[in-house]
Amino acid sequence: MRKRIPKILVTGGAGFIGSAFVRLILGDCRRGGLNLPYGSVIIADKLTYAGDLKRLAEVEGKFKFYKTDICNRKQIETIFAREKPDIVVHFAAESHVDRSINDASPFIETNIKGTQILMDTSRKFGVKKFIFISTDEVYGEIANGKFDENSPVKPNSPYAASKAAADLLAQSYIRTYKFPAIIIRPSNNYGPWQYPEKLIPLAILKIIGCGKVPVYGKGLNVREWLYVDDCARGILAVMNKGATGQIYNLGSACESKNIDTVKLLLRTLGVSQDRFEFVKDRLGHDIRYSLDSKKLYQKLGWRPIVKLAQGLKFTVDWSLKHQGWLKSKLGDINKLYNK
Ligand SMILES: NC(=O)c1ccc[n+]([C@@H]2O[C@H](COP(=O)([O-])OP(=O)(O)OC[C@H]3O[C@@H](n4cnc5c(N)ncnc54)[C@H](O)[C@@H]3O)[C@@H](O)[C@H]2O)c1
């Protein structure tokens, strides 16, 4: 008898990382994809400023799409009743720290309440696996050493606090209801199709527009950079082989100060090393994130493949070919940063 292919509901599948995951599971097997048939992948996305179906053009016609708000319990229940997903991979979120500093409200709504509604509905409809995409930012900052999965949660920005609340809620559902959740905490992602509010695509957009790259403070904040396709493969490894009830850090071990990342990017773009300017630091800016991802490396056999220099080269090549898409977000970026 042929094995039944599980139905996967992906929230936030029109976003940056969610779309990379969808392209992977619907994509070519020869490139590590699953080539899942039509009907097995369902995307639920509100298409906020950050959502864009253009990211899914290469797998168009291979997934079902619902434009919906995860905070709308009635709509979410209707989708679950109709589609009966076996697995939920929950990416949907407000994801940008600077926006959370301007206004935390949508972060509380989507990241906390939306996650609660999805978990309640998943319980009600007997979902077998619920993958919650959390973040390394739930741990707060660390000057030396690394956070492992047992490190305390101590978030600093409103964004990180909203993700930590949802992460803790998922842990409480695991304990209270034996809810089959798995929590993944990825480090900073970058790569094609990232919204140009985040450091790397913002820098590229500025250079394309003949401007200078804004660097917070003195550029000394350290981030652990993970190429988005590596992240998507890590999430797939957890979906296939991860144990329910577990938390997995998903990091690249590739750390770089923001100023060094920007200088490497300027070299990759072939422009002068002085095309940046220091700007007033972000409020409450975390100095360093660093993950110990041994559990994922050793238990599930996942390894990042793309090194930072190579990933930046892929991202620059992609960006130069997709300048129109990046530039289409310029009005929104100017509103965000040139208030
Ligand atoms: N980008 C990173 O570096 C990073 C690192 C670690 C963890 N994460 C987490 O990974 C997930 C995906 O991040 P991303 O960078 O792809 O985000 P993104 O901002 O690019 O995409 C978010 C997606 O969620 C959708 N969405 C937002 N609110 C919604 C709502 N109420 N209902 C339905 N859909 C809604 C948006 O339309 C968009 O398609 C998030 O949960 C984020 O917290 C991101």
Residue nearest to atom 42 of ligand 1 (CA): 95
Distance 15 CA to ligand 1 centre (A): 6
Q: Which atom of ligand 1 is nearest to the CA of 20?
A: 16
Q: Which atom of ligand 1 is nearest to the CA of 51?
A: 39
Distance 274 CA to ligand 1 centre (A): 32
- The predicted pLDDT at position 213 comes to 97
Q: Is 10 in the pocket of ligand 1 (CB under 6 A)?
A: no
- The predicted pLDDT at position 233 comes to 96
- The predicted pLDDT at position 33 comes to 84
Write the CA distances from 1 to 4, 27, integer angstroms.
9, 25
CA distance 108 to 157: 12
Mutate to test the pocket of ligand 1, among 9, 10, 16 (most ligand atoms within 8 A of CB): 16
Please state the rounded mean pLDDT for residues 325-336: 95
Please state the rounded mean pLDDT for residues 289-316: 97
- The predicted pLDDT at position 77 comes to 98
Q: Is 110 in the pocket of ligand 1 (CB under 6 A)?
A: yes
CA distance 77 to 65: 15
Taking the whole predicted model, whether its pTM rises above 0.75 is answered as yes
Q: Is residue 75 within 8 Å of 99, Cβ to Cβ?
A: no
Locate the domains of the chain by residue range: 8-194+225-253+288-306
| Superfamily of the domain at 8-194+225-253+288-306 | NAD(P)-binding Rossmann-like Domain (3.40.50.720)
Pairing type for strands 255-257 and 222-224 reads antiparallel
pLDDT mean across residues, the chain: 96
Please state the rounded mean pLDDT for residues 88-115: 98
Q: Is 50 in the pocket of ligand 1 (CB under 6 A)?
A: yes
Write the CA distances from 316 to 20, 57, 208, 266, integer angstroms.
17, 20, 10, 10
pLDDT tens digit sequence for 181-238: 999 999 999 999 999 999 999 999 999 999 999 999 999 999 999 999 999 999 999 9
CA distance 22 to 107: 24
Res. 339: pLDDT tops 60: no
| Banded model confidence at residue 32, pLDDT cuts 50, 70, 90 | confident
